[in-house]
Structure 1
Amino acid sequence: MSNTRYELKVDPTVAYTRTIFVPNTENILDAADFAVTDVVQRARAAGRKPVMVEVTVRVAP
């Protein structure tokens, strides 16, 4: 996913929201799965339990 860029906004008490920009529609589900896994791992490493993870996948212009 070297062509994938993403933005992460975190409210550690409520939700983790990530917007992913992918180069095409072929790997949207893989990108979303990666994003959720990454957010959960980062939260756990910081000693937090994510209450909600919201991922938005967009095709980059």
Structure 2
Amino acid sequence: MSGEAIALLVVSLVVVWGGLAVSIVALARRPERTDWPQGWQHEGGQEDRPDEPVEHDT
């Protein structure tokens, strides 16, 4: 392998594994979202969604 190929390989590995590491750290610091929009699950696991689907004008 040429030096340029090895450099590109190292950069690619740093980007991929670095992104994985940052994602794991972020998830470990804040594991559960508390700012869900209306209609998503709230504390206690109950949903705030209507029984019938909402029709939208398109």
The structure whose residues are more often strand, as a share, is: 1
Give me the TM-score of the superposition, normalised by structure 1: 0.35
The structure whose residues are more often helix, as a share, is: 2
Greater relative contact order (CA < 8 Å, ≥ 6 in sequence) = 1
Give me the TM-score of the superposition, normalised by structure 2: 0.36
Q: Highest CA radius of gyration, 1 or 2?
A: 2
